[in-house]
Structure 1
Amino acid sequence: MPQARGGAEQPVCPVRPLRSGPSGYPGDLACPVYLVTGYAEARQALGDRRLSKDTAAYFADKDSGRRLHPALTRTMLSSDPPRHTRLRKLVTKAFTTGAVAALRPFMEQVTDALLDEWPAHGRVDVVADLAMPLPVTVICELLGVPEEDRPDVQRWSADLFAAGQSGRSDAASYAMAEYMTGLIAERRDRPGDSLLDHFIRVRDGEDRLGEEELVSLAVLLLVAGHETTTHFIGNALLALLRHPSELARLRDAPDLVPGALDELLRHGSPVSTATFRYTTEAMTLGGTEIPADTPVQVAIGAANRDPARFPEPDQLDLSRDATGHLGFGYGIHRCVGAPLARAEAEIALRKVLTRFPALRLAVPQEQLAWRPTRLVHGLAALPVLV
């Protein structure tokens, strides 16, 4: 589904509530939801402490119409300081620039192994054959998820984001939470050196993580650690294929790929709308009055296409200064895994462009299918000829 474009005419407006995935979005509430599409307004909303992310508190006396596993309604992403600060501090150490640099040889190895399976000439689905398995393998390796369990993890994650299928999403939340509960128990019996083992030691040794916090943190990292990166890679390759001159620029000089990532993220943000927020007091945003206790939906993809901030926003321009884009969010909830996502996308794009210089779309653009989900923005498949 193509992303909406931000604009200055009405950058904040009330819309009809829609049911969603694991963010606890109020699908059956009678109150309006305010949609933010302008860049300046979206940036303000993402950093404004008057907009809370404490989903559990908001729905304490309301029925969301959802039956998600409790661990998935109280993740780090669905909390405010000081709880959010404490949980984020634990996670940040695993995704520092140095930690990601140490993972690069493994990411290079995984990428090469996947591309080795591509035919010398023929048809390939970039999503199924690279963009999905690469980040899944990396985050599962980090967390210590056994290789034989990874297809289940991938399927549950896709079900969590299934738009308009609340029963499917709810069931997937229980399957994934119960799986992680079992894996945590196994790792206690046979400890190792994975990220999950680190979290277990912090909880057991220093009593800093409760059991539910441990499960929710593991599930959040497992899902967020690959869903957005999958779409980052797929969207970026599609954008390049749609803009032949920019594609030729990177083919001729693959070393330019790291500097192109911000524009690729801005142009095809893998996050369509940010997760649930609500006003803790009445506030004015973009000239619009929003009452207290009201849900606010920030359209990341639209804000990144706001012509007031990025002229000719539909044009991919790798010489554009796209810093400040909201592809990774903004403020205290900015994506903690951004360094890892950038590294995976950079490696994948550089190797594909180097090894398959004749890459081209295998179907007309209008036949490409987008995943039917509100939160993430990505292709269901990207068939190409190599």
Structure 2
Amino acid sequence: MTITPDFVNDITMEQLEADPYPFYERLRKEAPVAFVPALGMHLVSTRELCEQIARDDENWPAVISAAGGRTFGPAALLNTNGEEHRELRDMVEPHLQPSAVDKYIDNLVRPFARERIAAFENDGHVDIVEAYCEPVSVRALGDLLGLDDVSTDKLREWFHKLSVSFTNAAVDENGEFANPEGFRPGDEAKAEIIAHVDPKIDKWITQPDHTAISHWLHDGMPEGQTRSRDVIYPNLYVFLLGAMQEPGHAMATTLAGLFSRPEQLERVIDDPELIPRAAAEGMRWVAPIWSAVVKRAARDVTVGGVDLPEGSIVMLTYGSANQDEHAYDAPSQYDLDRPVKPTMTFGAGKHACAGTYFANAVVRIGLEELFEAIPNLELDTDHEVDFWGWGFRGPKQLFVKWEV
């Protein structure tokens, strides 16, 4: 029998989005597997249980959250298992393999990163999220996909609208969406995406090129056939949200963490070889994809001392797993010198993030270029560092300054 602590019944989506950490700290201690009425599903909050379930595809096949299904559609990677999932991974992974990424990533990221820095480096202050981190992230992925003709601002707009929709997860006492209007921004973005991409798909069908979407259409298909748009679009939405969000917010989060440890920031600026380690700790400290992976019990199961019947839905909260006191010392602190341990930032098992290497490379290059151009970067303490989000989390704004 599942016993839900009283405090779980009172939690709201607004509280989770503003600051999920106190709630999840209590969950890890008192109810590591707990049904949360506001979400209509169980949350799994400890690192051990998140990793256990993430790796167990036989007993815990992947599904998509209700809000995610409403946003992406049924054919998304997040909602597939077995051979269907393998085929979709085979579709998206060729451009994301380390050997492939290493060939194109510098030319993809560095010129645009330098262009963005040149636009503000003489100003002495900027919101680095808006001016640099998000633009570098969305431009890199947009150009890789074949959306080089979509403006950076429009890519950011699509990403934010899809994020609002995907995280519109609150349900009422009947299990229905509490805010159906919350999906409107995502619907608007998807309509624009289809209107823009449909003519490009028409061209790629007969004139394939090197871009990722073109390869999605053709790779692994019988001669003369291409994949259906019903497959392409749900997975394009996944990429335009998750794969655009992760590098940009990981960059900003790493900066925020380093600003909390000025002596560590100085070391990283002096030695760029430390950037990958700094970024890995930033993404542990505040996981960009905080809560997005959902699994379904394939049979009656007991997990974390809780009996769950077949068909039970659980959400794996990787942001909480990365803050687990049993896995990390002083987990709420950013610490470049923390002993290297595995994290749940990019998930685990067959549904681990396909773009892990790509995302890390974008973050690394973005920070290399920023620190090289503005080595005296510091936090503008006239503004607070304002993190937001429960499904995806990162600084809404991060104001920085430097001497010109």
The TM-score bracket by the shorter chain reads: 0.7 to 0.9
Name stretches of at least 5 consecutive residues in structure 1 with no aligned partner.
19-31, 59-63
Whichever residue aligns with residue 397 of structure 2, its letter is: A
Report the equivalent of 1:10. Answer: 31
C-alpha separation between the residues in 2 aligned to 1:3 and 1:234?
19
Work out the number of aligned pairs and report it: 363
Report the equivalent of 2:132. Answer: 130
Contact 2:282 2:334 in 1 (8 A): yes
Q: Give the 3 Å change call, closer, same or farther, for CA 182–154 of structure 1 in structure 2.
A: farther
Q: Give the 3 Å change call, closer, same or farther, for CA 205–211 of structure 1 in structure 2.
A: farther
Contact 1:3 1:301 in 2 (8 A): no
Report the equivalent of 1:36. Answer: 44
Report the equivalent of 1:27. Answer: none
Residues 303-357 of structure 1 show CA distances to partners (whole Å, capped at 9, x for unaligned) of: 1010100011112222223331011111111111111110111112222223222
Whichever residue aligns with residue 123 of structure 1, its letter is: H
C-alpha separation between the residues in 1 aligned to 2:251 and 2:397?
12
Report the equivalent of 2:106. Answer: 105
Report the equivalent of 1:48. Answer: 56
Q: Give the 3 Å change call, closer, same or farther, for CA 73–182 of structure 1 in structure 2.
A: farther
C-alpha separation between the residues in 2 aligned to 1:248 and 1:331?
36
Calculate percent identity across the aligned residue pairs.
Answer: 21
Contact 2:105 2:361 in 1 (8 A): yes
C-alpha separation between the residues in 2 aligned to 1:322 and 1:345?
19
- Higher mean C-alpha displacement, 39-48 vs 285-294: 285-294
Q: 1:305 aligns with which of 313, 317, 323?
A: 323
C-alpha separation between the residues in 2 aligned to 1:104 and 1:146?
15
TM-score by length of structure 2 reads 0.82
Contact 1:273 1:374 in 2 (8 A): yes
Q: Give the 3 Å change call, closer, same or farther, for CA 144–41 of structure 1 in structure 2.
A: same
Q: Give the 3 Å change call, closer, same or farther, for CA 3–321 of structure 1 in structure 2.
A: farther
Q: Secondary structure at the match of 1:132?
A: helix
Residues 82-136 of structure 1 show CA distances to partners (whole Å, capped at 9, x for unaligned) of: 1001110222221111111112321222212211112335211111111111121
Report the equivalent of 1:120. Answer: 122
TM-score by length of structure 1 reads 0.86
Report the equivalent of 2:92. Answer: 91
Report the equivalent of 1:263. Answer: 281
C-alpha separation between the residues in 2 aligned to 1:380 and 1:159?
14
| Pairing 1:61-80 to 2, within 5 Å after superposition | 68=70, 72-80=73-81
Report the equivalent of 2:217. Answer: 200
Q: 1:349 aligns with which of 346, 363, 367?
A: 367
Contact 1:271 1:327 in 2 (8 A): yes
Contact 2:106 2:365 in 1 (8 A): no
RMSD of aligned Cα (Å): 2.4
- Higher mean C-alpha displacement, 157-166 vs 185-194: 185-194
| Pairing 1:111-260 to 2, within 5 Å after superposition | 111-162=113-164, 163-164=167-168, 165-202=182-219, 203=221, 205=223, 207=225, 209-260=227-278
Name stretches of at least 5 consecutive residues in structure 2 with no aligned partner.
1-17, 169-181
Q: Secondary structure at the match of 2:120?
A: coil
- What's the offset of the Cα at 1:178? 4.5
